[in-house]
A and B are shown apart, each in its own frame.
Chain A
Amino acid sequence: MSDKPQEINLSVNGTAIIAKPGMTVFQAAQTAGIFIPHYCYHPDLSIAGVCRMCMCEIEKNPRLQISCNTMATEGMVVRTDTDKVKDIVQSVLELHLINHPLDCPICDKAGECKLQDYYQEYGLYKSRIEYETKNHKPKAVDIGTIILDDERCILCTRCVRFTAEVTKTHELGIFNRGDRSILRTYDDKPLRNDYTGNLADICPVGALTAKEFRFKQRVWFLERNDSICTQCARGCNVTVSVNPQTTKLYRVEPRRNPTVNQSWMCDTGRWNTHYVSDASRMTSPQKRVNGKDIEETWETFFKVMSSNIQSAPKKVLVGLSTYLTTEEMADCLEVFSGLGVTHFTWIVDEKTVEDRKAYDGILKHHDQTPNAAGFLQLMETTKTSWLKHEEVIKKLQAKEFDHFLLLGLEGVTMPGAAELLIKTPKETSLTVHATTRVALFEKATWLIPNASSFEKSGTMVNALGLMQRLVASMPWQFTSRDSHGVVFGIKEGNDRAVSPTGRFQTVFKRLSDEAIFPGARMDWKKMPASGVNIGVVGRAEGIKYAKG
């Protein structure tokens, strides 16, 4: 074997393709945009070659071969559109469907099921199987966060490989043989890894469905938006599904990005989204007077806060949550600096931010806020001084501040912010801008509702130093506002100057013009979906997990 870099020339369906050595026929065809139907092949899992759907005809080879496990070689002539291939794909599909229960009406996968999709395209359309003769298997087996239906399973082993290769927990296996094969967890124990939601995603049929999403909504009612997860510093790429009629969030799924999250995301990020439409969500600004909460308008809040800050800006501390987008932070900095405020801080403990690796070896980070790197980037490039976590607590307890504004908190757990809130003395008037009302906010004089990260757009920088796009999937809920809206009002001192929802784009343009974001003069809308490596703060540890 020569170690020289090589190229392999082959043709698929008459299209000449230049493939890299080590590529399979399937992958080579994919680079040329030729689609081959498949069930068991997954770009981020090993190759199993069990579903037999990706059959192709190779010249000088009498039998059909599976393209996912056949290496591309020089001069190969491959065809996937001949009658022989069509015939065999039809037969394979018939085999997969022999014992299929055909319970699409109650199957959550219906609408995005590969059995349905391929049957439309390659199916026989004339069933030769009677229902009575079908082989019956266990249905609706509870295996933890996932419901398993063995009748629907086509034994592609994607899930088995996922638990073996990605989480390395080996919970799932195929038991028995032939048409009696069933998918099961070992010893019938529930799944015990923190990435179980991915099983429902990678299952090409309805055999594994997520309990959280089960029967909630039909998939064809959902509108999908490409965004990012904001539950930790990893910033996994996700697709957010919202029903446009009810503007209710139904599902968060991972979106493939080889450098960040491959095709996965953790269960916390996926299912810890109830706060968005929960009863504890804050609905209007509230002021605490003598231990009682009084509902107030934004107008009153802006008037009071504006005069408070203007009377003694040096005694004001502004805490920027790292749940904020970089644009929101920049807007806050600009407005508050303009009013004379000099003290800024963030909510995370520096120790968690320094750790740039996923602590579980897969995706999860200690820093559970999404944009600490963006904050650092902004502060470093604009040369703004800010108080570190310990300094701020010291100063707070020395009662140096009259007012403490904590902007942009999100969710129920507030890592980092909790300590700040507890250490805030009674003498300091506290204003909290958060999505959800929690017991920690008892001391707050003002509580103002925040738009969740599903309701705002902008950019965030993850722990790997990748700047990624956050896209709003629904409008601001209730009367909540994002930080653009809040600082706009504080600056004007009234609610008349309605902040446009597209303000982030103006700020983004300013930031890229001022080269705060490298790759200057970028258009927010044209940012690549896989993110831009701005690398200044995040590059240190490189991208370890991604193998490409």
Chain B
Amino acid sequence: MQKVKYSLPISQRVYLIAILKGMMVTGRHFLRNLFRPGQMPTINYPEIKRKYSSRFRGLQILTVKENGELRCTACMLCATACPAACIHITAAEHPDPRVEKFPLEFNIDMLRCVFCGMCEEACPVDAIRMGPTYELANFDRSDFIFTKEELVKHGNFTQSKVKHH
């Protein structure tokens, strides 16, 4: 390795000029925000929230039927389509013979989810949708696994548009 000697011009060796330049930028923004607060790009986040598109893909919602039961039939197509392998379903026999199959467990591992929306796309009965929720911070890793009860509850019992037969 060759050593390269840098020799800066005097104007750069005196840092004071650069500092003053930086101060000017900061001062400009400070004064602008002070006199025209409406144009400020930042928001007071937890109090004020940004409006997202209605097509935003956030935490999944499990929809319900008119009688309040889960819409999902545990066909596993979402789990099959999921590129992150984050959906884990355990199917079981439903007590009502007309329903036959339902998910005993429906867990989504949000640490793995990439919010691609493939599950929503794959679902034949409109049982899973990408919801608007994006605040998914937690203190414990195990809290990132959302059960079916949580996914239904946070979706406010959204009813499916598909007719049941």
A residues engaging B (CB < 8 A)? 103-106, 110, 131, 139-140, 214-216, 218, 220-221, 245
Are the C-beta atoms of B101 and A218 separated by less than 8 Å? no
Tell which of A105, A110, A139, A221 has the most Cβ of chain B within 10 Å. A105
Are the C-beta atoms of A214 and B93 separated by less than 8 Å? yes
Given known A214-B93, A215-B74, contact A106–B101 (CB-CB < 8 A):
yes
A221 contact set on B, CB distance < 8 A: 76, 80
Whole-angstrom distance between the alpha carbons of A216 and B101 in the complex? Answer: 11
B100 contact set on A, CB distance < 8 A: 103, 106, 139-140
In B93-121, the 8 Å CB interface with A consists of 93, 97-98, 100-101
In B62-82, the 8 Å CB interface with A consists of 73-77, 80
Whole-angstrom distance between the alpha carbons of A245 and B88 in the complex? Answer: 12
Are the C-beta atoms of B75 and A215 separated by less than 8 Å? no
In B116-149, the 8 Å CB interface with A consists of 124-125
Partner of B73, one of A105, A139, A140: A105
- List, sorted by A's number, 17 A–B pairs whose CB atoms are closer than 8 Å: A104-B75, A104-B124, A105-B75, A105-B77, A105-B125, A106-B74, A106-B75, A106-B100, A110-B75, A131-B165, A215-B74, A215-B91, A215-B93, A215-B101, A216-B91, A218-B76, A218-B80
**In the complex, B24 has a CB within 8 A of chain A:** no
Interface SS of B by simple majority: loop
Tell which of B92, B93, B101 has the most Cβ of chain A within 10 Å. B101
Are the C-beta atoms of A139 and B101 separated by less than 8 Å? no
| Least distance between B9 CB and chain A CB atoms (Å) | 63
Q: Which residue of A lies closest to B163 (CB)?
A: A131
Whole-angstrom distance between the alpha carbons of A104 and B76 in the complex? Answer: 11
Whole-angstrom distance between the alpha carbons of A110 and B101 in the complex? Answer: 14
Whole-angstrom distance between the alpha carbons of A140 and B101 in the complex? Answer: 11
| Least distance between A489 CB and chain B CB atoms (Å) | 37
Whole-angstrom distance between the alpha carbons of A217 and B16 in the complex? Answer: 71
Are the C-beta atoms of B124 and A105 separated by less than 8 Å? yes
| Least distance between B148 CB and chain A CB atoms (Å) | 16
In order of increasing CB-CB distance, the 10 nearest A-B pairs are: A105-B75, A106-B101, A215-B91, A218-B76, A105-B73, A106-B73, A140-B97, A106-B100, A105-B124, A215-B101
B77 contact set on A, CB distance < 8 A: 105
| Least distance between A97 CB and chain B CB atoms (Å) | 16
Whole-angstrom distance between the alpha carbons of A376 and B74 in the complex? Answer: 50
Whole-angstrom distance between the alpha carbons of A512 and B45 in the complex? Answer: 76
Whole-angstrom distance between the alpha carbons of A221 and B75 in the complex? Answer: 12
Whole-angstrom distance between the alpha carbons of A122 and B21 in the complex? Answer: 75
A103 contact set on B, CB distance < 8 A: 100
| Least distance between A288 CB and chain B CB atoms (Å) | 37
| Least distance between B99 CB and chain A CB atoms (Å) | 8
